[in-house]
Structure 1
């Protein structure tokens, strides 16, 4: 038996909707499953009973494993590190069920049957979502890279500049490997004290399981969304779950319910962005900002919500491309831009030239024009106006 578990705590209703959507995406593959011969069970680890789960018709029961606020605070190192809850929640589930447990983030959905996923966990193998990078290649990890060099041992785990980073959107181990989770928590605590990097928990899990088990990946089975894509998926989840007239028990039978992700960008706009970018020496980030701007205009008369999301993406990417940062709005990490050097032009054109280009390239979002766009929300308009002020001030 394998337990597929989710962790949900706090009052953010969108996380609860993510959970329901992920469960439905999984259960659609099991709608004909016979409960008596099932090879898996489902558990939601939460800080309280979730009423929506008691009303969710499923072919398998969903158990709710309640944890106290004190436990959560301990897992988060007194609130200092929120992501520390994941390995601790996995330990809790392993202790309770004494079976293989696969902990899955709520911001996921299944594209293949979960029966393929549970096959990847055994007494000798573990599973995470996907390989991401070697820590020596990631700038934010340089403080730890400099400290570990070619290799040091911490809590029985060798950490070096060549250590791998795996994504922990999926994290599964067999009960026989329970003791490895203690090492994971000890390692993340030590590394976090050295440098408080936000994803230190997933590094600690990945490097430990990579050394002590046959670590497999699961991105062919589970889709994990983040960055800009998250905004679109949230919109699509809301449309499927909150606005749908179809009952929950029928949603599992509707493939369209699970058609989520980036909305299409017109071929014409992609071609124009590519050609203009090549002719004018734009880097990837600025080119993606311009493409997002054109895509926002494309959706303006078709889908205002999508249009506003694309307009926000254009703003975030333009900010980062030309170095005009928004102190409170976030950086839009995980964008589809492919990154790029700071500054919009590869030849380091002076900033006043960049300013003129911004006004030309984002013409309909200029201060003189943006007020007439009735499809654009007041919040997005205000943020674009603030951007123009900051760009003008240099």
Structure 2
């Protein structure tokens, strides 16, 4: 644990539920610490609001136990769980002049102080910009809310959308959180199925009021291909979870990179040629299995193999319907694929047969 300093930047996490989210948060925190230059006096406060303090025991963070009743209260009146992000951020800014709330599925590319350099009065820091409101007119948020927002002068088709994997604000601008919370409460019944309602309301609250800044160069937010990045992080935790701040652990943080592992170009061409000998419906499946099975030099890239195999099977089933176990066995025993997979074929077959169980 560490004591908070009102003068230091506040990096805030909200982590609750299954262990996966705590694993993500722990790695994100360690990645922030790994990129701090302690010799130059760089320091931040890290606050974790969580239902499970245990995963953070070995980390220099301030843990706030978040009981279920409090979290549910933060999600009312509709039980919308992303509402709690804005409620928490508003609470932190009542005590500190500046804060950054960051999702757990993130890790740092560089010093976290670069985030706080972009949090200024009159500016909303978000993870990334996401196009313009009017670009997707089939979206539920467009179809159900455009007229209301236009009539009130709150938004138009040119409003930039934001990704709220990072929210950075000064206390002077905390009022936009009141606005965003009020809109979530009002618009949730009109856009109940809209997963991105929270960040949409944040964009509306900031529109024409605050400048926008993004931080994709500082943060990798792996909302896409999440299984592969979680596999990398879990491999790091298996290796270093008992001493997450050791020199070896901090050095290995840099090997958990933001790239999906891909074999070299010539190897990929070879895989493509091999797949052309297989039935057309199995070609992409075979290539994805081979991508996962390639002996990558980076140990954390190699750890993605089961995630690649799972994704390959998921993609195949989504395109052509669920593959029966005997069909799966026959595919994996195709002479070319069997030769290419080598000794791993039996492990892959066992893994996928387990995964294909209804």
1:45 matched to 2:49: yes
Taking the aligned partners of 1:305 and 1:116, their CA distance within structure 2 comes to 30
Q: Are 1:132 and 1:167, in contact at CA under 8 Å, matched by a contact in 2?
A: yes
Taking the aligned partners of 2:314 and 2:93, their CA distance within structure 1 comes to 41
Deviations 1:175-208 (CA, angstroms, capped at 9, x unpaired):
0111110111111223321122111101111232
Q: Are 1:94 and 1:100, in contact at CA under 8 Å, matched by a contact in 2?
A: yes
1:294 matched to 2:290: yes
Instruction: Give the structure 2 partner of residue 69 of structure 1.
Output: 68
Q: Which runs of 4+ in 1 moved over 6 A?
A: 273-278
Query: With structure 2 as the length reference, what TM-score do the two structures score?
Result: 0.78
Taking the aligned partners of 1:23 and 1:151, their CA distance within structure 2 comes to 40
1:91 matched to 2:104: no
* Number of matched pairs: 334
Q: Are 1:129 and 1:167, in contact at CA under 8 Å, matched by a contact in 2?
A: yes
Instruction: Give the structure 2 partner of residue 160 of structure 1.
Output: 156
Q: Are 1:126 and 1:215, in contact at CA under 8 Å, matched by a contact in 2?
A: yes
Structure 1: 5+ residue runs without aligned partners?
A: 327-358, 387-394
Instruction: Give the structure 2 partner of residue 381 of structure 1.
Output: 353
Taking the aligned partners of 2:166 and 2:250, their CA distance within structure 1 comes to 25
Instruction: Give the structure 2 partner of residue 3 of structure 1.
Output: 10
Taking the aligned partners of 2:310 and 2:21, their CA distance within structure 1 comes to 22
Q: Are 2:15 and 2:21, in contact at CA under 8 Å, matched by a contact in 1?
A: yes
Taking the aligned partners of 2:272 and 2:111, their CA distance within structure 1 comes to 38
Deviations 1:74-132 (CA, angstroms, capped at 9, x unpaired):
2223673222221111112112x231110001111110111111011111112000012
Residue aligned with 2:82, SS? helix
Taking the aligned partners of 1:67 and 1:157, their CA distance within structure 2 comes to 37
Taking the aligned partners of 1:287 and 1:166, their CA distance within structure 2 comes to 37
Instruction: Give the structure 1 partner of residue 4 of structure 2.
Output: none
1:188 matched to 2:184: yes
1:15 matched to 2:12: no
How far did 1:235 drift? 2.2
Taking the aligned partners of 1:79 and 1:194, their CA distance within structure 2 comes to 12
Instruction: Give the structure 2 partner of residue 349 of structure 1.
Output: none
Query: With structure 1 as the length reference, what TM-score do the two structures score?
Result: 0.71
Instruction: Give the structure 1 partner of residue 305 of structure 2.
Output: 307
Give the 3 Å change call, closer, same or farther, for CA 134–320 of structure 1 in structure 2.
Answer: farther
How far did 1:25 drift? 0.8
Give the 3 Å change call, closer, same or farther, for CA 311–183 of structure 1 in structure 2.
Answer: same
